[in-house]
C-alpha cells in the first residue's frame, strides 16, 4: 500500500499515514511560472495499491487538476490500482440541472476522475448521496457521524438536548444522529430567495430551554447557519452549537459566526483550516484521519467499509 498526498491538505494526509503506520510517498507537486501543474513521483509504485488523498477545496480547480495529473502519473508508473480519496468533494452542490442549459458539474468531475485512471473513489459526507451513482468505479461515501456522535455524547446530556436540521434537505442526516444520541429532533423551515442567501421562516419542534445542535454537511458563507441560530435563540434556546463536516467558510463566514449567537461550531479537518479559522474562539476541529485511515485499511484487506457505520 502507498499513500500519496496532494497539496490541498497535507496535514490530514500525514495524520492518515500515521494512523496506518506508513510514510507518505515522496513526490513533487508544483506549478510552473505559467501556473501549469507538474507532478513527479519519486518512489517506485509498480504493482502497488496507491491511495491519493486530495480534497478538491479552494482553489477547487487547481486541486482538482493536481488530483487528475497525480492519478495519471501513477497510472503511467504502472500502479496496480489507484484510489482517489477526496475528504471533500468539490462541485458536489452542482448535482442536478438547476435550470435550462445548466451543467451537472458533479457528474463531469466524476467522469474526469475515472478517465484519468482511478479505479476507486472515496469521499466523506457527500452533499447528495446520488453522486455515488455518477461514478462508474466502486465508490464509498464515508460518514462523519460517528466522530460527531462521540463528541456530542461527551459534552451533552440527551434529555436536555435537541438535534436540529437547518433545512428540510438535511433531515435524514440530523435524524440519524438524533437517534444515535437519543435526542429529540427539530427542523428549521427556510425559504431560499437566491443562491447563498436564505431567510429563516419557522422552527418545527420544541427547542425552548434546550441545548440545540445544528447538523449540516457544508458551511460556505454561514448564512443558513447563522439565520438558523438566530431563529433558535428567538425560540428561547438555552445554547446553540453546530457540527459541520466540511468547513468551506468563504467570506464573510468567519465574521458572521463570530458575531452570531452560536456558542461553538465544530468542523472536521476534511478541508485545511485557514489561519482565521484557527484563530476564531468559536470554531474547533475534529479529525477524521482515523475514519479515513480505517477505511483505507479495510479496502486494502478486502474487508467491509459499510460495517464502520453499522
74 in Cβ contact with 39 (< 8 Å) = no
Catalytic residue, chosen from 18, 154, 155, 190, is 190
297 and 282 inside one domain: no
Q: Among residues 214, 224, 308, which one has the least CA distance to residue 267?
A: 214
15 and 94 inside one domain: yes
> Given a cut of 70, is residue 38 above it in pLDDT?
yes
110 and 238 inside one domain: no
29 and 86 inside one domain: yes
49 and 100 inside one domain: yes
280 and 294 inside one domain: no
CATH code, domain carrying 205? 3.40.50.2020
Q: For the chain, give the percent of residues with pLDDT over 90.
A: 89
Q: How many folded domains does the chain comprise? A: 2
Q: Among residues 49, 45, 33, which one has the least CA distance to residue 73?
A: 45
Sheet (strand 283-286) strand order: 197-204, 184-194, 161-165, 211-219, 239-247, 264-268, 283-286
pTM of the predicted protein model:
0.92
200 and 261 inside one domain: yes
- Tens of pLDDT, residue by residue over 102-139, are 999 999 999 999 999 999 999 999 998 899 999 999 99
170 and 253 inside one domain: yes
81 and 46 inside one domain: yes
Per the annotation, the verdict on 159 as an active-site residue is no
- Tens of pLDDT, residue by residue over 238-271, are 999 999 999 999 999 999 999 999 999 999 999 9
Q: How far apart are CA 198 and CA 191, in angstroms?
A: 6
Structural domain span for residue 34: 2-143+290-309
Amino acid at each position: 500500500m502507498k499513500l500519496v498526498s496532494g497539496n490541498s491538505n497535507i496535514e490530514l494526509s500525514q495524520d492518515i499515514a500515521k494512523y496506518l503506520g506508513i510514510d507518505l510517498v515522496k513526490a513533487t507537486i508544483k506549478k510552473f511560472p505559467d501556473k501549469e501543474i507538474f507532478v513527479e513521483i519519486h518512489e517506485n509504485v509498480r504493482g502497488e495499491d496507491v491511495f491519493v488523498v486530495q480534497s478538491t477545496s479552494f482553489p477547487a480547480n487547481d486541486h482538482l487538476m493536481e488530483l487528475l495529473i497525480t492519478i495519471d502519473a501513477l497510472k503511467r508508473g504502472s500502479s496496480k490500482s489507484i484510489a482517489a480519496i477526496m475528504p471533500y468533494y468539490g462541485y458536489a452542490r452542482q448535482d442536478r440541472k438547476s435550470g435550462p442549459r445548466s451543467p451537472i458539474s458533479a457528474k463531469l468531475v466524476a467522469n474526469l476522475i475515472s478517465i484519468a485512471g482511478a479505479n476507486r473513489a472515496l469521499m466523506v459526507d457527500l452533499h447528495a448521496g446520488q453522486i455515488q451513482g455518477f461514478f462508474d468505479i466502486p465508490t464509498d461515501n464515508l460518514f462523519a457521524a460517528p466522530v460527531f456522535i462521540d463528541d456530542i455524547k461527551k459534552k451533552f446530556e440527551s434529555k436536555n438536548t435537541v438535534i436540529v436540521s437547518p433545512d428540510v434537505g438535511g433531515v435524514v442526516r440530523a435524524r440519524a444522529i438524533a437517534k444515535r444520541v437519543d435526542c429529540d429532533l427539530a427542523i428549521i423551515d427556510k425559504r431560499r430567495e437566491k443562491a447563498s442567501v436564505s431567510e429563516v421562516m419557522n422552527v418545527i419542534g420544541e427547542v425552548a430551554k434546550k441545548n440545540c445542535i445544528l447538523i449540516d454537511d457544508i458551511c460556505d458563507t454561514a448564512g443558513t447557519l447563522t439565520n438558523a441560530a438566530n431563529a433558535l435563540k428567538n425560540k428561547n434556546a438555552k445554547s446553540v452549537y453546530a457540527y459541520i463536516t466540511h468547513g468551506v467558510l468563504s467570506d464573510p463566514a468567519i465574521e458572521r459566526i463570530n458575531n452570531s449567537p452560536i456558542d461553538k461550531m465544530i468542523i472536521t479537518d476534511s478541508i485545511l483550516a485557514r489561519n482565521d479559522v484557527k484563530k476564531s474562539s468559536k470554531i474547533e476541529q475534529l479529525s477524521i484521519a482515523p475514519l479515513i485511515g480505517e477505511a483505507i485499511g479495510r479496502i486494502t484487506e478486502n474487508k467491509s467499509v459499510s460495517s464502520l457505520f453499522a
